[in-house]
Structure 1
């Protein structure tokens, strides 16, 4: 998120306090404070960990209630559709999905400007997102991996289709031209995709002022825990389901699965209190960033829905292309056969491999991906230098030294490498393109590092088993 001016931010927090948003247990239903934060949380800037976020205003205990946002302060479809004109128009387009309606509602509310009740909140939303739907052809191809390219194409196509379907409604509402554009649609849908929180009465979710200032922390360890439960559930389906007890194996495992999922969130709507409640997911010292887990996401999913990725994501996975016969020779679903972020194959992938062998000549090679790790690391360093270029002369010098993929970037963005000519300054559009290019290279680099780790893991395992076998032979 973009850093706001202190005066503007203080005004927003004062507005939030008027709505009853509070990080103090004592102030929630009593006298409203001047601003909604300061007792448990404080807005801070974390340059290496998500930018603007929420820090601990004091030492916090794990599980402690740290923020409450009353239902009346949640921006939902219901609250926006209280506008008679908007509600009447939306009722004539029931073919649109709830998410499409919410997207139109958000754009309509943005069009009100300062006349909107939600203006203090809306003006603090990011002006842009680097989600996959915003990727250009060059940026899409920079991902290199077929699955990632396909996911990007699907995201772009979905955004364009939903925008076209909703255009008639937006025209009826007489939205301003800039709000009718595909770019505006992607911004609004990205806001909903990346910032809404789950509520039980609306599948779209809600936008939560102040509550969406938390930066993301990936749940640690849950990925393999849930995989173990899924493995048990899959295995149990192969067994006799007649049990002497009153509970089936599946129902018990589902309970365990649900228990795992309960640990993946750090907040929720409390109907008894009538507010969205947030809890500390860990013990925090004063000044430390307080993080929120949105759930388990791979880096590609984070890039698709949120526009960022994590250097160390315990929930990341790598799906490698397998021979069709491998899928047909076992009953494991495709999505369960992957490599963990630490390089270890999933249980399902190992099981499938045990049931399938193939001659060397028929194996599909993916080894070439691992060999380009060093090149991608150097490319990231170059991109950082371009982003940090202090003046036009330094920038021009860097661009003149670029080769291969970097040259393709220059061509895709109509940048010239010649040393003579006018002063070279990167436009805002080009800077955003560089940021998306960097995200693509970062994603594929992490993908390749997982492959390298997997190769190392398998090699070590093979060497260990070979040594054990050799020792056994010698003792005979």
Structure 2
């Protein structure tokens, strides 16, 4: 711990020497932080991050990183050897080029100008591209498995395309491997920030310590415009603080007028609270793909369920707009599409405008699509190899395994669970030709369990949203029925029967919100 703190102190001093600072007042030469934010640890909310060093107000500038401190392809290519080599491989994408630049600096070791920053980068990432076949299949849901396989294939292809260049640059053998490429591309994917002159982005020392907050809770952009138009933007910042308007909603960005990357408080923070940064709007699968984590409560999450082909053909809504919200409510486009689909084909044109405006077409139509959606979600749940209850128990088991250091205890507990746990052990016995217990207990490979855990967490959230959608539909059916209209059962399942079937799935209370 003392060594780690010493390295961190050295890094913050190095950053201060580059002009990185959380204050425009007299700068502390021994650290770039301390006035607005400090490094802290949040074990249940992202790990290491930045905490408010004092009370902060929304819109206040809390960190500034000059352009000269940003690690970009442009800055690294000041090295003539690298620049010439890259020019001889014009087919590489900007992201591949930045990945090579990062590995090039790693290859220099302590002689790299960026060494104080590079040694603080994570040792591994849990992005989809790093998933093995077992973790990919553990996602269970077809479109998630497809996304993971696509990410893995893309990463391998990009590595092969760049390998010749890395050989020409005389990289150390271990940096020529796919494993090294996955680490570097994981760094680029999860830590780069947008800059206007390079679509690959930049690595931002200290600035990349901010952990993620999903957008959705802050006021919308219209409120921002109103404040600006009404002249209500505050300009009464305390003396010595950054001159930033309180209506600013942007978390951060490169600002040409000060040639620096500037970060702002997205809301009011009390001293000690974690100061978060919104990278943008992402579903949990997208967060997993690009950043290697997911959120249990993500207001931007989306769940897709199989739909019949004629649903797609009966509407002009794009397929990616037909989803279920994190709350369990069908999206505006999905409801619109289903209302049209449930209407006889010869009548769709006459009601099309109403459907596309989000209007309910009739009580019978609305009840029928709620019943259909409920049944479809129930069928999707039944088609998956494990239930919510089984996933909850498995997740608890994985969390126990992560705490074990004794191989005997690990093996005894693992075998008592059977099922997917045994499949996990078998997969790694076959893959590595050695004791899977020794494998999973090694520091190097505990990340394999971390990825498995993420896959189970993702599919558990997926199933929870389906259950919430069934609950939503049942409430809507009851509400509509109370208006005096009874739905004809026909081939559909009744509301009360749906409730009975959902309850029979033994869903833990912690997941149903009750």
TM-score between the two structures when normalised by the length of structure 1: 0.85
Determine if the alignment matches structure 1 residue 283 to structure 2 residue 268: yes
Determine if the alignment matches structure 1 residue 14 to structure 2 residue 29: no
Structure 1 position 389, deviation (Å): 2.1
Structure 1 position 404, deviation (Å): 1.4
Structure 1 position 221, deviation (Å): 4.8
CA pair 201-354 structure 1, distance change in 2 beyond 3 A: same
Where does residue 90 of structure 2 map in the other structure?
94
In the alignment of these two chains, the number of paired residues is 428
Where does residue 294 of structure 2 map in the other structure?
309
State how 1:198-213 maps to structure 2 within 5 Å. Answer: 198-213=194-209
Would the aligned equivalents of 2:440 and 2:448 in 1 still touch at CA under 8 Å? no
Determine if the alignment matches structure 1 residue 47 to structure 2 residue 43: yes
1:206-240 CA-partner distances (Å, limit 9, x unpaired): 100000000101012589x79xxxxxxxxxxxxxx
1:294-337 CA-partner distances (Å, limit 9, x unpaired): 00111100100111111111111001111111111000001111
Would the aligned equivalents of 1:3 and 1:52 in 2 still touch at CA under 8 Å? no
Q: Is the partner of 2:458 in helix, strand or coil?
A: helix
1: CA distance, partners of 2:140 / 2:214:
25
1:110 is matched with which residue: 87, 100, 106?
Answer: 106
CA pair 311-421 structure 1, distance change in 2 beyond 3 A: closer
2:420 is matched with which residue: 405, 409, 417?
Answer: 405
1: CA distance, partners of 2:293 / 2:263:
23
2: CA distance, partners of 1:285 / 1:311:
24
2:468 is matched with which residue: 453, 456, 465?
Answer: 453
1: CA distance, partners of 2:2 / 2:194:
26
Q: Is the partner of 1:205 in helix, strand or coil?
A: strand
State how 1:14-413 maps to structure 2 within 5 Å. Answer: 14-27=13-26, 33-221=29-217, 265-357=250-342, 365-368=379-382, 372-413=387-428
1: CA distance, partners of 2:338 / 2:259:
51
Would the aligned equivalents of 1:63 and 1:282 in 2 still touch at CA under 8 Å? yes
Structure 1 position 422, deviation (Å): 10
Contiguous gaps of at least 5 residues in structure 1 = 227-261, 472-476
2: CA distance, partners of 1:128 / 1:421:
20
2: CA distance, partners of 1:425 / 1:167:
30
Structure 1 position 403, deviation (Å): 1.5
Would the aligned equivalents of 2:440 and 2:449 in 1 still touch at CA under 8 Å? no
Q: Is the partner of 2:261 in helix, strand or coil?
A: strand
1:133-176 CA-partner distances (Å, limit 9, x unpaired): 11111110000000000000000000011111111111110111
CA pair 207-422 structure 1, distance change in 2 beyond 3 A: closer
Would the aligned equivalents of 2:328 and 2:466 in 1 still touch at CA under 8 Å? yes
1: CA distance, partners of 2:308 / 2:439:
49
1:175-215 CA-partner distances (Å, limit 9, x unpaired): 11111001111111111111111111111111000000001
CA pair 298-424 structure 1, distance change in 2 beyond 3 A: closer
Where does residue 478 of structure 2 map in the other structure?
463
Contiguous gaps of at least 5 residues in structure 2 = 222-246, 344-367, 487-514
2: CA distance, partners of 1:448 / 1:421:
30
Structure 1 position 5, deviation (Å): 0.9
Q: Is the partner of 2:48 in helix, strand or coil?
A: strand
2: CA distance, partners of 1:214 / 1:425:
30
1: CA distance, partners of 2:338 / 2:393:
35
CA pair 404-165 structure 1, distance change in 2 beyond 3 A: same
1:39-96 CA-partner distances (Å, limit 9, x unpaired): 0000001111111000010010111010000111111111000000000011000011
1:343-374 CA-partner distances (Å, limit 9, x unpaired): 01100000001011399999863141688111
Structure 1 position 452, deviation (Å): 0.4
CA pair 296-4 structure 1, distance change in 2 beyond 3 A: farther
CA pair 297-38 structure 1, distance change in 2 beyond 3 A: same
Would the aligned equivalents of 1:138 and 1:412 in 2 still touch at CA under 8 Å? yes
Would the aligned equivalents of 1:20 and 1:32 in 2 still touch at CA under 8 Å? no
Structure 1 position 428, deviation (Å): 3.0
1: CA distance, partners of 2:465 / 2:155:
30
TM-score between the two structures when normalised by the length of structure 2: 0.79
CA pair 321-396 structure 1, distance change in 2 beyond 3 A: same
CA pair 334-39 structure 1, distance change in 2 beyond 3 A: same
2: CA distance, partners of 1:146 / 1:421:
28
Structure 1 position 429, deviation (Å): 4.5
Q: Is the partner of 2:143 in helix, strand or coil?
A: helix
